[in-house]
Amino acid sequence: MKHVMKIVLVVLIMLIGLRVDNARAQTSFFISSSEFHWTRGAVPPVILPRISRQFSENNFRQVQDSNQASMIIRVNCNSYFTGKTDYFYFAALDASLKVFDKRSGKQVYRNDLKRIKGGGTSIELADDKAYFNASQIIADTLTRFIYLYTTGKPAPSSNKPIDFEPLCDADREIPELNKERKNSYVLIISNDAYSPMQTARCFSDSMDFHSRDARVFREYAIRTLGIPSSNIQMITNAKSFEMRRELIKLASYSRGINGNADLIFYYAGYGLIDEKTMEPYILPVDIENDDPKFIIRITDIYKMLQEDASRRISILLEASFQFDALKPKPEKSKSVKINLRYPNVPANVFFIAASSPGQKAWSDYQAGHGLFTMALLEKLKESKGNASLKEMSDYIIQKVRATSVKMKLKEQVPQLLGGSSLTKDLTILKL
């Protein structure tokens, strides 16, 4: 009897899924967009390709002729200049979204999105950033509505990362490890949807690749390091409370296996230096100032990851740690030079940052990665995940330093810190 009930349940689930898929398949969409860029007027569309790609990923049927469509989606966008500082330009974008159902003969959706922000070190970058941010927001907004309208159900959430376009050798043919490391847990945080003010403070343009770095690193964690996808948490554009919550949660996984967990924390985003304590900190997307209650210092990361005992903790930071570009720099005294360093790590921590405090962490625009993450992925691929921590860190430091000089940029030197219980075993231990 139980066996029969299971079969009936499976059939019902399949029928419900078929009904949802049919509802989407029977509805066809025609999408048009009008985009005006304040720096260049009318140029090839940015919003339309992003919406089309996301609709395809969700199996929505698109047509090229509006006469053949069941529904028509119209998107009108207009960006404009909103000011500048000594170092930075600011842009905003307004968008109007409309959905017309030809079957009922009426407009079924209207949404006006105002002042989507963008910023950059040139007027073109500010404009491009506003359209880049808007493309994702608009695609997500329309996808959620269309899914609900055609199926009667909210769009399902998925932990699967957005597919990335391979731009370099490290993105292709990622090595696969056959065994599973069930006692290893990973937290990946990528922050790139910063406000123009945050971006200006960090003296960064719109050409960082934080989310892309994180997505590709996640694939290496699963395939090459052998960590089950269920043991990996990936968060994009995390707020301060989310980052703290997830760091503490990561530590808690060790509790159920008597402290025998290996923890990995990978962060790609902005960082700054606290001008009072001279300590580096990572920057959540919702913090505009250096309020000590909300910023996350390096020592805070140590403390939260030590909430429960773990066998080993690896911290990988794809970030620059520089002084606030919108404030006068501290005087170059001896005390500043001495204190400008990363805090010493706990005994069981392996720590490597993309650059030394005060340096810029650069990106390779053709490869679509930060130099630090690029070197990390290259070593993981070349060694098939078998490189020791010392081999990996030596390669990253040498490669990043040489590449920054070759690209005629200010020197970037990654920095390694190893806890006292790990130092002698760095030639044996692996990530």
Domains delineated in the chain: 24-151 (3.30.160.150), 169-425 (3.40.50.1460)
pLDDT attached to residue 86: 63
From residue 240, alpha-carbon distances to 30, 212, 288, 293, 389 in Å are 40, 21, 11, 9, 30
Average pLDDT over residues 137-165: 73
Question: What are the residues facing 268 on neighbouring strands?
Answer: 190, 318
134 φ/ψ angles, rounded to the nearest 5 degrees: -65, -35
How many Cβ atoms from other residues are within 10 Å of residue 203's Cβ? 17
Tokens of 395: 């390669």
pLDDT attached to residue 271: 92
Angle at 254 between CA 250 and CA 259, to 5 degrees: 145
| pLDDT range class, residue 189, cuts 50, 70, 90 | very high
Question: What are the residues facing 316 on neighbouring strands?
Answer: 266, 352
Tokens of 243: 């980052």
Most confident range (mean pLDDT) of 38-47, 147-156, 218-227 is: 218-227
Per the CB < 8 A criterion, the answer to whether 302 and 349 are in contact is yes
Length of the chain: 431
Residue 22 pLDDT exceeds 60: no
pLDDT > 90 fraction of the chain, expressed in percent and rounded: 32
Handedness of CA 268, 269, 270, 273 (dihedral sign): negative
pLDDT attached to residue 420: 87
Tokens of 412: 């970037």
Residue 231 pLDDT exceeds 60: yes
pLDDT attached to residue 73: 92
Tokens of 46: 């940015």
Per the CB < 8 A criterion, the answer to whether 417 and 372 are in contact is no
User: Is pLDDT larger for residue 202 or for residue 212?
Assistant: 212
Residue 68 pLDDT exceeds 90: no
Q: Residues 74-109: pLDDT tens digits?
A: 999 999 888 876 666 788 889 999 999 988 888 989
pLDDT attached to residue 121: 73
| pLDDT range class, residue 413, cuts 50, 70, 90 | very high
- CA-closest candidate to residue 374, choices 168, 226, 176: 168
Helix or strand or coil: residue 185?
strand
Helix or strand or coil: residue 307?
coil
Residue 243 pLDDT exceeds 70: yes
Angle at 294 between CA 291 and CA 295, to 5 degrees: 80
Question: What are the residues facing 363 on neighbouring strands?
Answer: 370
User: Is pLDDT larger for residue 249 or for residue 88?
Assistant: 249
Residue 25 pLDDT exceeds 90: no
- How do 271-273 and 321-322 pair as beta strands? parallel
Distance CA 103, CA 79 (A): 33
Tokens 């330009």 sit on residue = 89
Average pLDDT over residues 213-241: 91
Alpha-helical segments (H) within 45-195:
47-57, 123-151
- CA-closest candidate to residue 40, choices 79, 86, 70: 79
Distance CA 239, CA 191 (A): 9
- CA-closest candidate to residue 394, choices 370, 418, 362: 418
User: Is pLDDT larger for residue 33 or for residue 205?
Assistant: 33
User: Is pLDDT larger for residue 20 or for residue 46?
Assistant: 46
Q: Residues 295-341: pLDDT tens digits?
A: 899 999 999 999 888 899 999 999 999 888 877 776 655 545 556 78
Residue 5 pLDDT exceeds 80: no
pLDDT attached to residue 259: 84
Residue 179 pLDDT exceeds 60: yes
- CA-closest candidate to residue 195, choices 142, 259, 123, 117: 117
* pTM tops 0.75, yes or no: no
Lowest model confidence (mean pLDDT) among 82-86, 100-104, 362-366, 406-410 = 82-86
Q: Residues 322-335: pLDDT tens digits?
A: 888 877 776 655 54
Per the CB < 8 A criterion, the answer to whether 312 and 259 are in contact is no
Angle at 315 between CA 313 and CA 321, to 5 degrees: 155
Distance CA 37, CA 279 (A): 40
**Concatenated DSSP letters of 384-418:** TT--BHHHHHHHHHHHHHHHHHHTT-S----EEEE
- How do 28-36 and 71-84 pair as beta strands? parallel
Angle at 363 between CA 361 and CA 365, to 5 degrees: 170
The backbone region for 173, taken as left when phi is positive above 0, alpha when psi lies in -120 to 50, beta otherwise, is: left
Tokens 């903790």 sit on residue = 313
pLDDT attached to residue 18: 43
